[in-house]
């Protein structure tokens, strides 16, 4: 019998038991859908984190005070600027604030205009201009704070804005509105208010900084700078190089994906057992038919191919259904569950990314499972002899 005839016969037999075939396809599709959907979330989150870290640059090192120890001062800033391999030192004051008619808390960031450019990479404005580094009540609003719930502009350059800082109201003048940036490691620009550093220091009557951002001259200098900072501050400062965070994120997300693929593999085991059971029933139901085919001259190899092709079709169709469902669910999952909270007023959003490697893993696994589950029933069918069909009359 020709190969195309065997293919047609295999397809016809699957159509004869349509409900059974559909249920088997769905069992295979569940595993593929699970791998595609979950891996897309993890890969998307990883790429979003790496992209956000990249905005600060791989040569960036973040210093925070450890425990209840004292914050950094201007003397620490000057000392860090003198270290070998350091190009920029950015002192930052960060605290929570509230804007009228905003339910969530916003972030108030005290930073010089020059350092803000280094922190954001570039300052993109929707309205107004950058503030001047003088101790005056100037505010640069994030795009979300400047708009209301329906997207209408409520704060423009030149208008006053009332902020709640330390349980007291402070009136400031809006000098500009920032464009959309996305999340950064330290702040969420869309929900932040940027003010001159000297003004915020006078307002709070402090000369200490909870966070200092240090940038090395080159990425290759990061390890050297970290060692120098550790030598100077010992256990007083928490040192966080972004290069190390990026490597850690990649390692952790890769391990999570392996775990998710392993968990999804359990559904493939269940689907494989179901496929094995269905194919064995199919063989037993068609003993007489197999005997007639052999009596007409069909070889053992043809019978073996017939049932293996059925298993291959189940794997391919199940993979196709799983891919379609996986593509759809991977995009709907963030919409249904929303972003991850990263603290008051901060949410981490990402776009799922379907990785070709996990698509290959899912499809290959589904086809392999169905072929393995069909192997014994196909061999059993090929060993039947025409005379055995008499037993089932």
- pLDDT for res 324: 93
- pLDDT for res 1: 59
Closest CA to 173 of 132, 205, 144, 120: 132
- pLDDT for res 345: 42
- pLDDT for res 325: 92
Q: What is the DSSP string of 17-36?
A: THHHHHHHHHHHHHHHHHHH
The one-digit pLDDT tens for each residue of the chain (393 residues) are 566 767 777 777 777 777 888 888 888 888 889 889 888 888 888 887 777 776 677 788 888 877 666 688 888 889 988 888 888 898 988 888 887 766 667 888 999 988 888 888 778 888 888 998 888 899 998 888 888 766 678 888 888 888 888 778 889 899 998 888 766 667 788 888 999 999 998 888 888 888 888 888 888 888 888 888 888 887 778 888 887 777 788 888 888 888 877 877 788 888 888 888 888 888 877 777 777 777 777 787 888 888 888 888 888 998 999 999 999 988 888 777 655 444 444 455 678 888 898 899 889 988 898 889 888 888 887 777 665 555 554
- pLDDT for res 344: 41
| CB environment 126-151: b (16+ within 10 A), e (fewer) | bbbebbebeeebbbbbbbbbbbeeee
Task: Give the single-character DSSP code of 153.
Answer: B
Task: Give the single-character DSSP code of 187.
Answer: -
Q: Are 190 and 144 in contact (CB under 8 A)?
A: yes
What angle in degrees, to the nearest 10, is found between the helix axes of 300-337 and 18-56?
A: 50
Q: What is the pTM of this model?
A: 0.66
What angle in degrees, to the nearest 10, is found between the helix axes of 242-285 and 300-337?
A: 140
What sign does the dihedral 272-273-278-279 (CA atoms) show? positive
Distance CA 195, CA 111 (A): 6
* Cα–chain center distance at 393: 59
Cα torsion 372, 374, 376, 379 to 10°: value is: -120
- The radius of gyration of the chain from alpha carbons, rounded to an integer in Å, stands at 32
Distance CA 36, CA 348 (A): 21
Helix (H) or strand (E) holding 360, with range, is: helix 356-382
- pLDDT for res 320: 93
Distance CA 47, CA 42 (A): 9
Distance CA 96, CA 133 (A): 21
CA-based diameter of the chain, in Å? 101
* Cα–chain center distance at 42: 4
Distance CA 119, CA 198 (A): 17
- pLDDT for res 311: 84
Q: Are 366 and 269 in contact (CB under 8 A)?
A: no
**In terms of DSSP H, where are the helices of 286-392?**
287-295, 300-337, 356-382
């Amino acid at each position: 019998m020709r190969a195309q005839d065997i293919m047609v016969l295999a397809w016809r037999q699957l159509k004869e038991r349509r409900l059974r075939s559909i249920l088997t396809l769905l069992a295979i599709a569940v595993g593929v859908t699970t791998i595609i959907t979950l891996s897309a979330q993890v890969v998307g989150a990883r790429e979003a984190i790496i992209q956000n870290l990249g905005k600060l640059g791989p040569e960036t090192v973040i210093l925070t005070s450890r425990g209840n120890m004292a914050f950094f001062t201007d003397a620490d800033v000057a000392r860090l600027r003198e270290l070998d391999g350091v190009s920029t030192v950015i002192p930052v004051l960060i605290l929570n604030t509230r804007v009228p008619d905003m339910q969530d808390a916003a972030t108030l960031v005290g930073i010089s205009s020059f350092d803000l450019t280094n922190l954001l990479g570039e300052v993109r404005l929707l309205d107004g201009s950058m503030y001047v580094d003088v101790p005056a009540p100037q505010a640069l609003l994030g795009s979300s704070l400047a708009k209301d719930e329906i997207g209408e502009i409520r704060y423009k350059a030149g208008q006053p804005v009332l902020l709640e800082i330390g349980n007291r109201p402070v009136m400031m003048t809006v000098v500009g509105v920032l464009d959309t940036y996305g999340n950064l490691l330290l702040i969420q620009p869309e929900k932040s208010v940027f003010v001159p550093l000297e003004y915020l220091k006078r307002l709070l009557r402090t000369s200490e900084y909870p966070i200092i951002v240090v940038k090395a001259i080159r990425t290759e200098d990061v390890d050297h700078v970290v060692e120098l900072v550790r030598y100077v501050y010992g256990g007083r400062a928490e040192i966080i190089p972004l290069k190390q965070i990026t490597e850690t994120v990649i390692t952790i997300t890769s391990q999570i994906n392996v775990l998710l693929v392993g968990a999804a593999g359990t559904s493939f085991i269940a689907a494989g057992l179901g496929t094995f059971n269905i194919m064995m029933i199919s063989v037993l139901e068609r003993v007489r038919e197999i005997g007639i085919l052999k009596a007409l001259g069909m070889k053992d190899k043809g019978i073996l191919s017939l049932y293996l092709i059925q298993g291959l079709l189940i794997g391919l169709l199940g993979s196709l259904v799983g891919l379609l469902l996986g593509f759809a669910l991977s995009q709907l999952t963030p919409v249904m569950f929303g972003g991850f909270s990263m603290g008051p007023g901060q949410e981490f959003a990402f776009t799922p990314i379907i990785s070709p490697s996990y698509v290959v893993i899912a499809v290959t696994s589904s086809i392999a499972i169905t072929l393995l589950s069909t192997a014994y029933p196909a061999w059993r069918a090929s060993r039947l002899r025409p005379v055995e069909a008499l037993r089932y009359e």
